[in-house]
Amino acid sequence: MNEYIFIDKWKIIENRYRPERTRAGESLFSIGNGVMGGRANFEERFSGDTLQGNYIGGVYYPDKTRVGWWKNGYPESFAKMLNSAFWCGVDVTVAGESIDLAVCRVADYYRELDMRTGTLLRRVSLTTPSGRRVDIEALRFVSMERPELGVLRYTVTLPDRSAEVTLESFIDGDVRNEDANYDEKFWRPVSQSRCGLVMQTLKSGFVVGWAMENRIDGASFIDTGRTECPAETATVTVEAGGSVTLYKFVGICSSLNHESSDIAEAAARVADRAASAGFDVVSEEHKAGWASIWDNADIEIEGDDEAQQGIRYCIFQLLQTYTGRDSRLNVGPKGFTGEKYGGGTYWDTEAYCLPFYMATAGREVARNLLLYRYNQLDAAIENARKLGFDGGAALYPMVTVDGSECHNEWEITFEEIHRNGAVAYAIYNYVRYTGDSDYIAGYGLEVLISIARFWAQRVNFSAPKGKYVMLGVTGPNEYENNVNNNWYTLYIARWCMRYAAESAERVRSERPDDYRRIEEKRGFDYEAETARWREICDNMYFPYDAENDIFLQQDGYMDKKQMLVCDLPASERPINQKWSWDRILRSCFIKQADVLQGLYFFRDDFDVDTIKRNFRFYEPRTVHESSLSPCVHAVLAAAIGDTRKAEEMYLRTSRLDLDDYNNENREGLHITSMAGSWLAVVEGFGGMRVEGDRLVFSPSLPDAWHSMTFKVRFRGKRLTVMATKDGAVVSEEERSTF
C-alpha cells in the first residue's frame, strides 16, 4: 500500500498536492465513458509538468513508422489514438493575477474520483503570489447517458477579500501527442466560432467538433477571439466570502457518428440540450447510468478494504474504457489514460478482457468485441498476404486500430503470432459462455477458416522429426524471440485448426445456406482444407521434458542455465530495466505466462496434477514483468488449491496502478490487466467455470476475506454469487434479454 491514495471502498482520494506526482495523479483520476475520456489535467492554466490527454475512441492518426533498420514487411505507419482538444479548460484571473497551481502556494488540496458516480472532484485552497486567498472547486464528468457530452462545474470562492474574477472558458485544439514519431501536429483546424471548434486529423481525415455552452448566473460572456482555441470570458465581482460558479457543457461529436458537414451543428446541439436541461438533470442521469452499470458489475469484498478498493477501481476503469456501444471501438492497454501503446488493440482484448465484458456488460457488448475482429478480417488477410501467406490466410495484427498492423519490431510483428489463436479462442469462449452458436454461422466461421489457413501454412514438416513443427516464433514470453516450437503457440494453433474444422462441419450440416455463402465468399474447399488441417493436427510436434514431466516452453529451453527468480537479488529486478537485452534473451527467466497461458485457456484438457507440475516448474522462473502475467497464475494457483499463491498473484495486479508498483502510472493505467484482476477474483477465488450449459463455482477465498459477492450475467439470467469459506450461494434474477 502507498500512503498517497487513501483506502476507501468507493473513492480514490488524494489529499496532498505533490507536484512531482502530477502526471501520476492525472492518470489515476482519469475519467471516460467508453466513447471518449481523458486524463485528470487541471482545468485552469498549469505551467508545471503535465501530460495533456483527451482521447476520442476510434479517432487515430497513422504516424509514419520510425525504425533504425527497415525490414520488409514492416507497416508504413503506426496508428495512434490522438490527443485531442482539451475541452474543460477554464483560465482564472483574480484581481489581475492568473491562477496556476505551479506558481501559487497550495494550502489545501483534495481530489476524489467517486467510482460510484463516475465524477471527478477537486478542491484547492491556494494563495496567489501577491498573497490573495482563493478556493477552487471543480467537478467534472463525461456523461454515461449522453456519450457526446462533457460537463464541468467550476466554482471560485474568495474567502477573505473581494475582487474581480475573470473566468475564461476555452476549448484548446492546439494539442500534440508526446509520442509523435516526427514531432508533427496531427490536427488541422477546419473552422472556429466563439463557442466551437471543428478540426480534422491529418491523413486519416476524421472530423471532430467541439461546442460549448457556458453559464454563470447573472453574468454574460464575451468572445476572446483566440485561434484554435475558442474561448469566452465572464468577469464578475466576488465579495469576500462569496463565490462564482461556471457551468460548462461541451458537445464532442466526430465523423464516426455524423456527416462531416453537420458536425459543428451536432456538437452545438449536444451542448445546448444539456445546458437547457441543466447541470442537476444531466448529472443525475449520469449517476443513474453508473448505478445501473454497478448493479451488473460490482464485486463486494468483506474483510479487506484494500482489495475492495482495488477491484472496484479495476472494474470502474474497464467500464470507463469500453461500454460496447460501438463495434468499431476496442480496449487499448492504456484505455483513455495515456499515449503509451498508441491506444491500439492487442490480443489483450480477446485473452483477458472478453470474459469480463461478457459476464458484466452482457452478450451484445461481448459480441461487439468479436465483430471488431470480424470487420477487420479482410485487413488481416491482407496483412498475412504482405508477409507471404496466401489462399485467404489471415494474420491479425499485433497492434491495430483499423485492421492494419501497426507494430514494427520484427520479433513481435512477424513472430508473436499466437495472437491469432486468441482471436479464435475468443469466439469459442463467447459461444461457450453465451450459448450464441448462431455467431459461428453468421460471422465466426469465416474468421476461424482464415486463421486455420494461416496456421496450416505457418507450420512445416520436419523430416527428422516426422512431425509438423513451427519455427521462428515468439511466444507470450517476449523475453525470448525466434524460438522453435513454442509449446503454447503449437497448442493453440492445433486447437484452432481442429475448432475451425469442427465448426465448418457443423455449419455445413446444420446451416447449409450460411455454409454456401461462406464457401463462396471465402473460396473454401471443405474436403481438401479440413483434411489438411486434420492431418497436421494429428502429426504435430510438441516439446516435452521427460525428466520433469512437463510441457517444454520451446525446444532448447532446458539447455539454458536453470535459475529461479528467488535467486535473483532484488537490486537486479525488474530485469528489463537492469539487464541488457542480450542477457535477458539468454536467461531462463520468463516474462509472463506462456505454457501456463495454454493451461489456463485449455484447462479442461488437463488433469490437476499436470497443471500442478507445470505451475510448480514455471511460476518460480517467471518474473511477471508484464502486468498480464499474475492474473493467469492467480487463476491456476486457485485451481490447484494454492490459495496463498493465488492471493500473492492477485495483489500484484489489483492495486498495480493505485500503489504504483512499477513506478510508471504517470504514463497511464494498465487497463487490460485490470480485466486480469477481475479474472483472478471471479475465476480464481470464485472458481467460476462453464461446464456444458452450466456455470459452476468452487470458491477459495484469501484468509482475510470474510465473503465476496459478485454479479454475472449468464444465458439470460443475472446471478448474484456470494462466496464464503464455506461455499457459494447463487441467487438468480430472471431477465428477458441480456
* CA 301 centroid distance within chain: 24
Question: Hey, what's the cell of 309?
Answer: 478498493
End-to-end CA distance of the chain: 38
Distance CA 547, CA 596 (A): 18
Closest CB to ligand BGC among 25 and 397? Answer: 397
Per-residue burial over 532-550, b = 16 or more CB atoms within 10 Å of its CB, e = otherwise: bbeebbeebbebeeeeeeb
Contact at 8 Å (CB) between 401 and 343? Answer: yes
Contact at 8 Å (CB) between 507 and 521? Answer: no
Closest CB to ligand BGC among 167 and 406? Answer: 406
Minimum CB–partner distance for residue 679 and ligand BGC (Å): 15
Q: Which of 151, 143, 179 has the alpha carbon at shortest distance from 51?
A: 179
Minimum CB–partner distance for residue 216 and ligand BGC (Å): 44
Closest CB to ligand BGC among 206 and 352? Answer: 352
Closest CB to ligand BGC among 140 and 418? Answer: 418
Distance CA 212, CA 460 (A): 60
Closest CB to ligand BGC among 661 and 738? Answer: 661
Minimum CB–partner distance for residue 686 and ligand BGC (Å): 24
Q: How does DSSP assign 308-330, residue by residue?
A: HHHHHHHHHHHHHH--SS-TT--
Closest CB to ligand BGC among 91 and 625? Answer: 625
Q: Confirm whether 478 is a catalytic residue.
A: yes
Q: Which of 273, 272, 250 has the alpha carbon at shortest distance from 170?
A: 250
3-state class of 680 per DSSP? helix
In the 8-state DSSP scheme, what is residue 6?
B
Minimum CB–partner distance for residue 397 and ligand BGC (Å): 12
Residues in a beta bridge with 727: 724
Contact at 8 Å (CB) between 29 and 120? Answer: yes
Minimum CB–partner distance for residue 549 and ligand BGC (Å): 27
Minimum CB–partner distance for residue 676 and ligand BGC (Å): 10
Contact at 8 Å (CB) between 424 and 445? Answer: no
Given phi > 0 = left and psi -120 to 50 = alpha, else beta, which region is 549?
Answer: left
Contact at 8 Å (CB) between 436 and 430? Answer: yes
Catalytic residue among 112, 405, 416, 478: 478
**Which residues contribute to the site for ligand BGC (CB under 6 A)?**
333, 341, 346-348, 476, 478, 591-592, 626, 628, 672
Contact at 8 Å (CB) between 233 and 168? Answer: yes
Residues 6+ apart with CB under 8 A from 507: 440, 441, 445, 514, 515, 518
Closest CB to ligand BGC among 346 and 714? Answer: 346
Closest CB to ligand BGC among 541 and 618? Answer: 618
Closest CB to ligand BGC among 246 and 422? Answer: 422
Question: Hey, what's the cell of 677?
Answer: 484482476
In which element (H, E) is residue 450 found? helix 445-458
Contact at 8 Å (CB) between 81 and 401? Answer: yes
Contact at 8 Å (CB) between 468 and 534? Answer: no
* CA 95 centroid distance within chain: 44
Residues marked active site are found at: 478
